[in-house]
Structure 1
Amino acid sequence: MRVIPSLLAASLGLALSACQPAQTPAASNAGDDAAATPAPAPVAAAADGGGDGAGNQTLYRCGDLDVRATFNGEDAATVAIGGRSFAMSSERAASGAKYGDGKGNSFWTRGSEDALLSLKGEADRECNAVEATEGDGSAGNAAFRATGNEPGWLAVVDGDTPGLQVDVDYGERRFTVAKPTEGADGWVGKAADGTDIKLSFQRTTCQDGMSGETFEAKAMLAVGTRQYHGCGNFGGK
């Protein structure tokens, strides 16, 4: 009579053994399902919009400051003032194109010639586009135009009415030499307050360390005992 349980046990064992192959494909199917699930696509690296420094540049005179605005399409602009540079993005405006950095500084163009410069903590400055663009190989009617950084400075020798105008230390100080003496390598004279001013040049290619622009000459400006170094372009009368 005990043979029956043994037979039942054997039968049960065979049944369980027969079920084992069915479990293996199930596991395989689970793996196939996992493989079929698409993995998240890799996120492409964001393109560097300013990698090649390309953009349309315009030089403005904003009150007592010379401003170089580089427009990268309609969405961004870089505004350089002496040794300072502001990276700005497009902002909503009733007219024209307005750019801001979210820190209280903005530049608002109004047409192709006029703009408004707003710097945090300073009065707004009306701007007018200057015909000559630095680094394009000319200086308009000026005989020579030179600029430098850290601290920012600008010197212009007027080609129509000889005179030397100098702004130094980001425009904080200004000097004018009405009748500078012209030499083979520059101009020299005294400002109205008696300060000695000398602007000299060396005819060799010069590259601006901040903007990367290429100029026709290296320039050195001496205001009293202080010296400033930069680059310059010659203009055609």
Structure 2
Amino acid sequence: MKMLTAWGGVAAAGVLLVMGGCAATSSSPATSSASQASSDNRAPFFPSALFPGSAQRFDAWHCSPAQQHLVTATNANDLRLWSLHGAWRLPQAVVASGARYQDGEISFWNRGEKALVETPRGQLQCSLAGQRAALTRDDKPGVMFFARGNEPGWSVALAHDTPTLTMQTNYGEESLQLPYMVSVMDNEAGRVVLESADVAPFYRVRIDAGACFDSMSGEPFPARVTLTYGGEQYSGCGQGIAP
């Protein structure tokens, strides 16, 4: 199977880069599988578009002329690329200089702190704007996905083995550990929605694959996360954490 099939396609409006998510299976079987995992008290499998792969860091890129902000994670044989609209995986191509990753007419050519993104509709000239070390199980033991946000500070940590989450709000003053159920598992779009599992209080966590930047530090992440809890809605960024 080609990488393009596994991660969806890219379209451009002007020079706007639009990317699809991970699609190993259709959304209906994925939702059924996730529900079964929850009922069996096992943590579900999340779309790989939410993870860095084997990459040890995320890179943030500021691009023009469309004022796009991209996030990349470089693996041994491919590059994971996130825009504001989704994710894409590009296999490595052979070039004389720099590092080029390409699938069809979509490519990312990295030369040090500069990069050129090419699409059928145009080009983006990008400059490296920041980096962040990818979270690991050493950083977050027992956690398969971690998200955080600011003003007020909050975080959500999903356990790697059971469908439970630990939620901290109000700068850590309130902490809850709760079970969850999966209401949406869309591998093609890289989207997951979790909700409270027949217990109070009600909450919802929505996760979407796509470039995200911490509102205070500007650090890059591969997922945008929205937490709804206590009548409030919180926005932040997250990352899948592989074993």
TM tier relative to shorter chain: 0.3 to 0.5
Question: Which structure has the bigger radius of gyration?
Answer: 1
Q: Which of the two has greater helix per residue?
A: 1
Q: Which of the two has greater strand per residue?
A: 2
Query: Normalization by structure 1: what TM-score?
Result: 0.39
Query: Normalization by structure 2: what TM-score?
Result: 0.39
| Higher RCO (Cα < 8 Å, 6 or more apart) | 2
